[in-house]
Amino acid sequence: MADCKFKGCASEEFYWRNYFPSEIPCDAFPGPDCKYIGQVNYSNNICLPVCIYPQCNKAVGERAGKQEFRENIRIMCTTNAHKFFWEPIDFNCVTDCQMKNVNFSGNRSTSTALQIVK
């Protein structure tokens, strides 16, 4: 599986582990409301950022609409959690500053919040 990269972020600051249902690695970077950022290898090796919902054993991302995944998921981990933070974004009033060094997680539909980790 290919790794997604954060723009402007040293790769040593985070890494990806395989995610198995009900098994959150101790170094996984936690998000709001018990969610985690992840990635899946979508068709033709497209790296798709996803939001992992461990309580439902699934990950959700957006590629031509909402996509749900239950396997081949990787979870973002770090030993430097203090260098990252989550920021909810309202796409009706986004600022340039909010869009620097970001990775998206989740579904961008109006009914589901999109989270960004910086």
Per-residue pLDDT of 82-114, as tens digits, reads: 888 777 767 677 677 666 665 554 444 544 444
CA gap 59, 64 in Å, rounded:
16
pLDDT score recorded for residue 91: 67
Between CA 26 and CA 49 the distance in angstroms is 21
Mean pLDDT of 65-75: 92
The stretch 70-77 carries a mean pLDDT of 93
Indicate the residue type of 39.
Q
The label of the residue with tokens 């919040």 reads: 113
Residue scoring higher pLDDT (99 or 19): 19
CA neighbor of 106 nearest in space, from 71, 55, 63 = 63
Pairwise CA distance, residues 105 & 22, whole Å: 19
